[in-house]
Structure 1
Amino acid sequence: MELAKNLPAVAPVVQIVAETEADIAAREMLLDRAMGPGRRRKSSEKLRRGRRPSEGLAFAARNGSGALVGTVRLWDVALGEGGAPALLLGPLAVDPALKHAGIGSALMQHALAEARRLGHRAVLLVGDAPYYGRFGFSAEKTGRLSMPGPYEPQRFLALELVEGALDDAAGTLKATGRRMKPAKLPHAA
């Protein structure tokens, strides 16, 4: 997906593509720069730890030279014990030097369009309501849901991709995504 429209004239042209294994190191460095050292202690991280992103829902934004300048991933969760499936979005991050260039918005629009195309029914996240509200997220349907660990309830937001998907949702989100393969350990000689 090429981006040039609706960005400020000084904004770089970026391409949004599927994330690859080759992006791991650059993504981790970008997340450290954009989110700081406390990023691994967030309650959302508890749902991501040891899991792989939802199939087909991990994206990288690359600048004209191919460098990673943005990232977003969505994760499979259940809406409470034995509850309906949904997605947890995050982290969404953009290189701090390119903040306000429209890259985060483009990543969000792309990720949500793909989630809809793949048949997902709802997306949840913990984030700033003024930013995510423009994509349709609100706390309106998260009142009976919770995150594992500490979080600010007013920042727990949801978007129904299918109307009514969250009507009966209640309980604590549970990770349901594919587990990461264990790293191979070297054999002792």
Structure 2
Amino acid sequence: MGLIAVYPGTFDPLTNGHLDLIKRSQHLCDKVIVGVAANPKKRPFFTLEERVALIQHEIMNHNLTERVEVIGFESLLVEFARKCNAQILIRGMRAVADFEFEFQLASMNRTLAPEVESVFLMPGEKFSFVSSTLVKEVAKLNGDISRFVTPNVLKALQERLKLINEGVDVPD
């Protein structure tokens, strides 16, 4: 198959910064697997299945299906990478503040799976401050997040917030 990369994350929700890195990653390798981590300790806004579906929609919408695949996982990242036969882990780094955590994570991953290399990409400047956490916070306070997410993700966020405001029990 050639060079396979895993771009892991919670993607809760997928932002335009994530999409930027997915598009750019596919030019570095033969296949990119967007690994959607269950990560319940982060208390995701959307279920794993919903996040996978939202990302798959955007992959199809941006004609990336030939070289990009979306898979949810609940295991250790390096085990998921091995299962996917990946040689590379793509990690996004927005600012210097991300460096220490990413350095620790890359060191741990290298110790656990020396055959898998971490590659760091910076999103485009217009996305350098955007995070899923900030997007959710702004959305919760009725701020305009349309510049930071795709129309489909925006709609999903608005629908989820409506349910939350109506008191419907949804993942948080």
What TM-score comes out, normalization by structure 2 length? Answer: 0.31
Greater share of residues in strand? 1
What TM-score comes out, normalization by structure 1 length? Answer: 0.29
Q: Which structure exhibits the higher relative contact order, with contacts defined as CA atoms closer than 8 Å and separated by 6 or more residues?
A: 2
